[in-house]
Chains A and B, each alone.
Chain A
Amino acid sequence: MSKLTVANITGLRFPEKITGQDRRHFLGGALVVLVAISVVPLFVADYWIFLSTAGFITAITVMGLAIIIGWAGQVTLAGAALLGTSVYITGYLMREGLAGSGGWPFIPALIIGALCPAVLSALIAVPTARFSGIYVMVLTMGLQVTLERTLFTYTWITGGVGADVRINRPKIFGFEFNTDHRYFYLSFSVMVIAAFVMYALRNSRHGRAIQLVRTDRQAAAAVGISPWLYRVVAFGIGGLFIGLAGAMTAPLYESPPALTQYILFQSLFLLAIPVVAGTQSITGLIVVSLTFQILPPALQSHRLSVYLLGGIGLVAGTLVGPRGIVGTTLDFLQQQRDVKSLERASANENDLGEEATDESKKASSNITPSKPATESAKVRKDE
C-alpha cells in the first residue's frame, strides 16, 4: 500500500507518463494490493469485511467531497444529506420502482439514485457560484437541514426502519452479489474505478480548468474559462461521486439505514476525512476513509465516538494546513528522502567532480514542500 502511495497514484505528483521504473513500481504496488485484497478476507471475521466494504464506499463519498473542496476550493456541508438522498432513492427504486413497475434492477436504480444528488449539488452551486465561501457553507448547511426535514422524514421513500423492509443485494448480469464477501469485492472494484476516473478527470482539460478557477479566477476568466460554469460543474461531479457512493450503500445493509447516518454532524464527520487526508492524494483519501470507518467500532471499548473522531480530525487537519495530515507527512518523508539522497550525492562528490556538485546544489535549492515532483523523480533515478 505504501509503495502505491508515494510513488504512484498520489495525484499531482504523477509523472507525465508511466514509464520504466515508475511502471514497475506501479504494477508492483497494484499487485501487492490485489494479493492483500484477495488473501486477507479469507482470514478475518465477516464483521471486518462488512466494515471495509463500508469504508470503500465512504472513500467514494470522500472523493466527491475532495473534488468540491480541493478542486473548487469550496466547503460543502451537505455531504451527508446528498449521500442519504441517493441511498433512499436508490433503495426506493430497488424496492418499489416507479409507478407500480415493481422493484428495479440495481444498475438503473443506481444511475437515477446517483444523478439525484449530482443535480441537487449542481443546483445549489448555481446561485452560490458568485458568493464567498462562507455563504456557500451556510447555504449547503441549509440544504442539509432541509433534506433532513423533508425527504428523510417521508417513510414511504426511506422505507422506515422496520425490520420487514428489505433491500436485496444486487444482481448484475446474472451474477448475484449476495454475500458480504461478494459485495466487498464489488465495492472495492467500484472504488478503484472511481479513483481512476477521478484521477483522469483531474488531469483532463476540464479538471485543470476547475482548479485554475480556484487558484486564480481572473486568470481563468481571461483565458475564456467561465468561473461560474466550472464551479457548478465541480459541484455536480462531486455530487455524482457522492451519489454513486449512496447507491452502493443502499443494498449494503439489506434494509434502509437509519436517518442518523445522514444528519449534519455526519456531514462534518465526512468533511474531516479530506481535511485530514489533504485533497491531492487519492490513495491518502482511501486510506483515511478506511481508517475513519474502522476506527470507531474498533475503539468502541474506549468510547471513541464518530463525532469525536471527526472533530479531532477536522481540528487537527486544519491546524496542520492545506495539505492535510497525510499530505504533510508525505512531504516530510519526501524531504527526508531528498536529504538522504543529497547526502549520498555529496558523498559521491569527490568521485564525480564538478558536475555532481552543481546538480546537488540545484537539488537542495529546490526542496520545497509544494513541488517535490521533480525531486522524487530524481531520487528514483538516483537509485
Chain B
Amino acid sequence: MFQPFIVKASFVTGIASGALYGILAIALVMSFRMSRVVAFVHGGIALSSAFLYWYLVANPARTSGHGTNLAYATKEWPKLPAVILAILLGAGLGILFASVATGRMSKWPRITVTTFALGGMLLFAGITQEIWPGAFEIVPSPFGKGRVSIWGANVSHHQIAVVSILVFLVIVLHLLVTKTKVGVQIRAISDDVEAAEIVGVPVRRVSMGVWCLTGAMAGLGGILLAPMTRLGASVVLFVLIRSLAGAVLGGFNSLPLALLGSMLFGQVEAHVTGGTFGKISSGWREVILMAVLFTGIFIVTRRRRSQFRLTEA
C-alpha cells in the first residue's frame, strides 16, 4: 500500500500547498499580534487580488462565460504588472480595513472587531462577485507552465516558486522583526499595546504598516493560489481555513509554529488525498483535518491557560 512513488509525489505536493497555507498563516499571525484580531478579512483580500490578477492576465477565450453574453473581456496583460497591481490591491484593502480596526475600533472587544473582519471578508467577496460573477476560472501561473523532476516527482515551476517565495518571506520577515527598530516596535506592540504607546511607539502608524504588509501577503497568497486549482470564492475559503488552522496550531502567536502547522496540514492533506494511505474520500479528508485542528486548539489552549486567560472576549 505504501508505494514510494505516491509517497514521494504526495510529499512534494504537500510542501507546495503547505507553503501556500504558510504565506497566509504568516499574514494571519502578524495581524493577530498587532490587533488581537483573527484577520478573516485576509480571505476576502486574497479573493479580490486573485480575481483581479485573473482578470488582467487570463485569455478571454478560456473564461467560464466565454461565448455567452456573460463573457469577460479579460486583458491578457504580461504577468509582472498584473502581479504587482494585484499585490497593491491587497495592500490597499489591508490599509482600508486597518484604518477602522486600529482607529475607531482599537479599544473595542476583540470579538466585535473579529466579527467586523468577517464582515470585511464577506464585503470584499461580495464586491468581487459583483464585478466578476464567474466561478472556477482557469488562471495561468505567473511562472509559466514548466515542470521539472525532483526526486522522481514531477514538480511544476509554480510549486517551486511558491516554496521559494515562502522561504524568502520568512527570511525577510525574520530580519525585519528581529534586527530593525521597527521590528522592536512591532514586538513591543504585540507584547503590550498600552505600554508601547506610553514609551512613544506610534502604535497606529506601525499597525497600519503591518496590516498593509499582511494585506499584500494575502493578495500574493491569492495570486499564487489561483493557478493551483480553479478560481472561485469557495476555493479561497478552503485555503483560508487551512491557513487559519496552521495559525491556530501556533497559538496565533508564533510564526515558526504557524509555519510548522501549515506544513503539517499540507502534508496530511497531500498524503490523504494522494493515496499514501489508500483511497480516502474527500469527506473523510475533511474530518481528518478537522480532527488535527481540534487537537491543535486543545493543545494550544492547554499550554497557554497558565500564561493568561484566553476567555476574555
In the assembled complex, the Cα of A137 lies from the Cα of B240 at a distance in Å of 13
In the assembled complex, the Cα of A139 lies from the Cα of B241 at a distance in Å of 10
Residues of A within 8 A of B121 (CB): 268, 311
In the assembled complex, the Cα of A58 lies from the Cα of B115 at a distance in Å of 20
In the assembled complex, the Cα of A310 lies from the Cα of B252 at a distance in Å of 27
Q: Mark A124-149, 1 if CB is under 8 A from B, else 0.
A: 00010011111101110111011001
B28 to chain A, nearest CB (A): 10
Q: Does B122 make an interface contact (CB < 8 A)? A: yes
The answer to whether B248 and A135 have CB atoms under 8 Å apart is yes
In the assembled complex, the Cα of A303 lies from the Cα of B241 at a distance in Å of 29
Q: Mark A243-278, 1 if CB is under 8 A from B, else 0.
A: 000000000000000000001110011011001000
Q: Mark B35-77, 1 if CB is under 8 A from A, else 0.
A: 0001000000000000000000000000000000000000000
The answer to whether A317 and B125 have CB atoms under 8 Å apart is no
In the assembled complex, the Cα of A306 lies from the Cα of B234 at a distance in Å of 15
Within B77-123, which residues are at the interface with A (CB < 8 Å)? 100, 104-105, 110-116, 118-123
Q: Which residue of B lies closest to A133 (CB)?
A: B111
Task: Return the contact of A131 from the options B110, B122, B125, B297 (Cβ within 8 A).
Answer: B297
Residues of B within 8 A of A268 (CB): 118-119, 121-122
Q: Does A1 make an interface contact (CB < 8 A)? A: no
The answer to whether B129 and A307 have CB atoms under 8 Å apart is yes
Given A268-B121, A308-B126: A145 touches B115 (CB 8 Å cut-off): no
Task: Return the contact of B119 from the options A132, A135, A272, A322 (Cβ within 8 A).
Answer: A272
The answer to whether B297 and A143 have CB atoms under 8 Å apart is no
In the assembled complex, the Cα of A304 lies from the Cα of B205 at a distance in Å of 35
Q: Mark A48-59, 1 if CB is under 8 A from B, else 0.
A: 000000000000
In the assembled complex, the Cα of A57 lies from the Cα of B126 at a distance in Å of 24
Task: Return the contact of A269 from the options B105, B112, B116, B122 (Cβ within 8 A).
Answer: B122
Q: Does A314 make an interface contact (CB < 8 A)? A: yes
Given A146-B290, A275-B115: A130 touches B248 (CB 8 Å cut-off): no
Q: Does A25 make an interface contact (CB < 8 A)? A: no
Q: Which residue of A lies closest to B313 (CB)?
A: A133
Q: Does B210 make an interface contact (CB < 8 A)? A: no
Q: Does A319 make an interface contact (CB < 8 A)? A: yes
Interface contact tally, CB-CB below 8 A: 145
Stretch of B5-13, B167-175, B267-275, B279-287 with 4 or more beta carbons under 8 angstroms from chain A: B279-287
Given A75-B114, A314-B115: A303 touches B130 (CB 8 Å cut-off): yes
A73 to chain B, nearest CB (A): 6
B105, B118, B313, most chain A CB atoms within 10 A: B118
Task: Return the contact of B125 from the options A137, A153, A307, A313 (Cβ within 8 A).
Answer: A307
The answer to whether B114 and A314 have CB atoms under 8 Å apart is no
Residues of B within 8 A of A166 (CB): none
Residues of B within 8 A of A150 (CB): 283-284, 286-287
Q: Does B20 make an interface contact (CB < 8 A)? A: no
Given A150-B283, A153-B283: A135 touches B297 (CB 8 Å cut-off): yes
In the assembled complex, the Cα of A291 lies from the Cα of B153 at a distance in Å of 55
A74, A138, A143, A313, most chain B CB atoms within 10 A: A138
The answer to whether A134 and B114 have CB atoms under 8 Å apart is yes
Q: Does B277 make an interface contact (CB < 8 A)? A: no
In the assembled complex, the Cα of A185 lies from the Cα of B293 at a distance in Å of 44
Q: Which residue of A lies closest to B282 (CB)?
A: A149
Q: Does A339 make an interface contact (CB < 8 A)? A: no
Given A138-B38, A146-B290, A305-B126: A318 touches B310 (CB 8 Å cut-off): no
Q: Which residue of B lies closest to A145 (CB)?
A: B241
Q: Does A315 make an interface contact (CB < 8 A)? A: yes
Q: Does B192 make an interface contact (CB < 8 A)? A: no
Q: Does A217 make an interface contact (CB < 8 A)? A: yes
Task: Return the contact of B311 from the options A137, A145, A217, A309 (Cβ within 8 A).
Answer: A217
The answer to whether A145 and B114 have CB atoms under 8 Å apart is no
The answer to whether B111 and A131 have CB atoms under 8 Å apart is no
The answer to whether B119 and A314 have CB atoms under 8 Å apart is yes
A21 to chain B, nearest CB (A): 37
Q: Does A312 make an interface contact (CB < 8 A)? A: yes
Given A73-B111, A75-B114, A145-B286: A315 touches B123 (CB 8 Å cut-off): yes
In the assembled complex, the Cα of A88 lies from the Cα of B284 at a distance in Å of 19
Given A142-B293, A145-B238, A265-B237: A311 touches B283 (CB 8 Å cut-off): no
Q: Which residue of B lies closest to A77 (CB)?
A: B118
A67 to chain B, nearest CB (A): 16
Given A150-B283, A312-B123, A315-B119: A127 touches B310 (CB 8 Å cut-off): no
Q: Mark A149-171, 1 if CB is under 8 A from B, else 0.
A: 11001100000000000000000
Q: Which residue of B lies closest to A217 (CB)?
A: B311
The answer to whether B122 and A314 have CB atoms under 8 Å apart is yes
Given A138-B38, A272-B122, A308-B130: A131 touches B282 (CB 8 Å cut-off): no
The answer to whether A146 and B122 have CB atoms under 8 Å apart is no
The answer to whether A311 and B125 have CB atoms under 8 Å apart is yes
Within A313-348, which residues are at the interface with B (CB < 8 Å)? 313-315, 317-319, 322
Given A145-B238, A145-B241: A322 touches B112 (CB 8 Å cut-off): yes
Q: Does B21 make an interface contact (CB < 8 A)? A: no
In the assembled complex, the Cα of A140 lies from the Cα of B119 at a distance in Å of 16
Q: Which residue of B lies closest to A153 (CB)?
A: B283
Residues of A within 8 A of B38 (CB): 134, 137-138
A383 to chain B, nearest CB (A): 37
The answer to whether A149 and B248 have CB atoms under 8 Å apart is no
In the assembled complex, the Cα of A138 lies from the Cα of B115 at a distance in Å of 12
The answer to whether A265 and B100 have CB atoms under 8 Å apart is no
A150, A306, A312, most chain B CB atoms within 10 A: A150
The answer to whether B110 and A311 have CB atoms under 8 Å apart is no
Within B227-242, which residues are at the interface with A (CB < 8 Å)? 233-234, 237-238, 241
Q: List 30 A-B contacts (CB under 8 A).
A: A75-B118, A127-B298, A131-B301, A132-B313, A134-B110, A135-B301, A138-B245, A142-B294, A145-B241, A145-B290, A149-B286, A150-B283, A150-B284, A217-B311, A265-B233, A268-B119, A268-B121, A271-B118, A275-B115, A303-B130, A305-B130, A306-B126, A308-B123, A308-B127, A308-B129, A311-B120, A311-B126, A314-B116, A318-B105, A322-B112
Closest 9 pairs between A and B when the two form their complex, measured CB to CB: A314-B119, A311-B123, A308-B126, A307-B126, A311-B122, A150-B283, A132-B310, A149-B286, A315-B119
